[in-house]
């Protein structure tokens, strides 16, 4: 089996590149091969899969993916890391054609030359939710994935209604997929050691709940409901629905006195449809 990166090689590579990991880019690199293999296994990556990895960094997870996947598309914003990655991969015995490295910002990634079917990533923590939502939105070919995020965010993504962690990221991610917690990861597997805990989230895409215009309307309702989280839906949505929130919520089959945190994505969808029906979308 190919050697993956360990603590000493990660340091050597960082020294070679004169890399000082930055918080701004969420640069905490995994130095433990077992953690990387575990993530790949949880995502059930096999030799027919094309994996998308966002933020490959020095390549710890990338090499574990290359061991199992047919192909890996790695999107890295830091040009020094993006340049080094193919070298590291070939030094570890992988073929050039198995890895596509792109020096790009994953926040604005909308198209790729190949169609990945699985996302596996240790996401940069400060932008993990928008990057995940962007990927779910623009890459329908991705049917499942495992992402490592800050534990607090993981609990939010996997939360169920009527839970303090349930919020806009949860409901939006639920538009495309079902998510659940897939384990926690100790701080000691990272260099530098982060000051937050990390957890894994597995997602599985389901059939889209509705059209793109319905999604946009539903997301507008979600934003409004969670911006006024403590308010009942009839008052949280009063502006959006031009004073008719109570009537339209009733039409959607939703109790107007309920709070957004108690509603499923399907219920938000019904409310979103009312927004379209009454020409209230922006």
- The residues that touch ligand SAM, with contacts defined as CB under 6 A, are 25-30, 54-57, 60-61, 75-78, 81, 105-107, 122, 124, 127
Q: Which is nearer to ligand SAM, 104 or 143 (CB)?
A: 104
Q: Count Cα atoms within 13 angstroms, Cβ side, for 10.
A: 25
* Residues contacting residue 184 through CB under 8 Å, at least 6 positions apart: 151, 197, 198, 199, 200
Nearest approach, Cβ of residue 103 and ligand SAM (Å): 9
Rounded to whole angstroms, the Cα distance separating 188 from 135 reads 29
Nearest approach, Cβ of residue 160 and ligand SAM (Å): 27
Q: Which is nearer to ligand SAM, 107 or 114 (CB)?
A: 107
Using CB atoms, what's the residue nearest to ligand SAM?
A: 55
Nearest approach, Cβ of residue 248 and ligand SAM (Å): 38
CA dihedral 193, 122, 218, 269 (to 10 degrees): -110
Q: Which is nearer to ligand SAM, 75 or 237 (CB)?
A: 75
Kind of pairing, strands 198-205 and 177-185?
antiparallel
Encoding tokens for residue 44? 């059930």
Q: Which is nearer to ligand SAM, 111 or 230 (CB)?
A: 111
Nearest approach, Cβ of residue 221 and ligand SAM (Å): 28
Nearest approach, Cβ of residue 58 and ligand SAM (Å): 6
The string of DSSP letters for 89-122 reads HHHTT--GGGEEEE-S-GGG----SS---EEEEE
Q: Which is nearer to ligand SAM, 98 or 281 (CB)?
A: 98
192 preceded by cis ω (within 30°)?
Answer: yes
């Amino acid at each position: 089996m190919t050697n993956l990166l360990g603590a000493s090689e990660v340091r050597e590579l960082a020294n070679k590149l004169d890399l000082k990991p930055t918080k701004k880019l969420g640069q905490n690199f995994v130095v433990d091969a077992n953690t990387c293999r575990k993530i790949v296994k949880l995502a059930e990556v096999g030799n027919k899969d094309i994996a998308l990895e966002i933020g490959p960094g020095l390549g710890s997870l990338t090499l574990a993916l290359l061991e199992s996947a047919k192909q890996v598309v790695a999107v890295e914003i830091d040009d020094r890391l993006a340049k080094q990655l193919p070298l590291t991969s070939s030094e570890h015995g992988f073929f050039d054609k198995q890895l596509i490295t792109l020096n790009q910002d994953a926040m604005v990634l909308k198209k790729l030359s190949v169609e990945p079917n699985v996302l596996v990533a240790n996401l940069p923590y400060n932008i993990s939710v928008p990057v995940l939502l962007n990927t779910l939105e623009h890459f329908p070919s991705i049917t499942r994935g495992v992402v490592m995020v800050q534990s607090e965010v993981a609990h939010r993504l996997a939360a169920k209604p009527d839970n303090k962690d349930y919020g806009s990221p949860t409901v939006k991610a639920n538009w495309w997929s079902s998510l659940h917690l897939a384990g926690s990861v100790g701080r000691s597997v990272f260099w530098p050691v982060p000051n937050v805990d990390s957890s894994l989230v597995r997602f599985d895409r389901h059939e889209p709940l509705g059209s793109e215009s319905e999604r946009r309307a539903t997301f507008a309702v979600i934003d409004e409901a969670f911006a006024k989280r403590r308010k009942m839906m009839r008052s949280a949505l009063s502006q959006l629905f031009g004073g008719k929130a109570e009537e339209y919520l009733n039409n959607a089959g939703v109790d107007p006195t309920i709070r957004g945190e108690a509603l499923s994505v399907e219920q938000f969808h019904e409310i979103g449809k009312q927004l379209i029906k009454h020409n209230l979308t922006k």
